[in-house]
Amino acid sequence: MDAAQIRDKVDEALSTVFDPEIPVNIVELGLVYKTEIQDGGRVMVIMTLTAPGCPVAGSIIEEVTQKIEAIEGVTTADVRLTFDPPWSKDMMSEEAKLELGFL
């Protein structure tokens, strides 16, 4: 599987991870800042949370890591948290804003 195919599978997997407090996936929420497919099947994801003190941070990171590492061709998943820039509702997709009543 080439890098483009792995990226598609990673994007697909990330869209199945939901913030337990908001019924929208982390991609639509705008929590995924960067996905990088590296040599040797390594995948790096830089993401954030809706709030720095998010009580489910560990479980979200663990779920993202497990789902990425389950993809054929992926050897390791390096999931990194950042709060720069801080997340805001403006980062959500139009679909997510509509679903949550922000439009």
Q: Please write the tens of the pLDDT for every residue from 7-23.
A: 999 999 999 999 888 88
CA distance 1 to 25: 25
Kindly report the CATH class assigned to 3-85: alpha beta
pLDDT digits (tens, 9 = 90+) for 46-59: 999 988 887 888 89
CA distance 55 to 45: 20
pLDDT band at 65 (very low <50, low <70, confident <90, very high): very high
**Ranges of each domain in the chain:** 3-85
> What is the pLDDT, as a whole number, of residue 45?
98
CA distance 81 to 8: 21
> What is the pLDDT, as a whole number, of residue 73?
95
CB 64 within 8 A of CB 17: yes
Mean pLDDT over all residues of the chain? 93
Q: Which two tokens stand for residue 28?
A: 């639509």
Q: Which two tokens stand for residue 77?
A: 């998943």
pTM summary value:
0.92
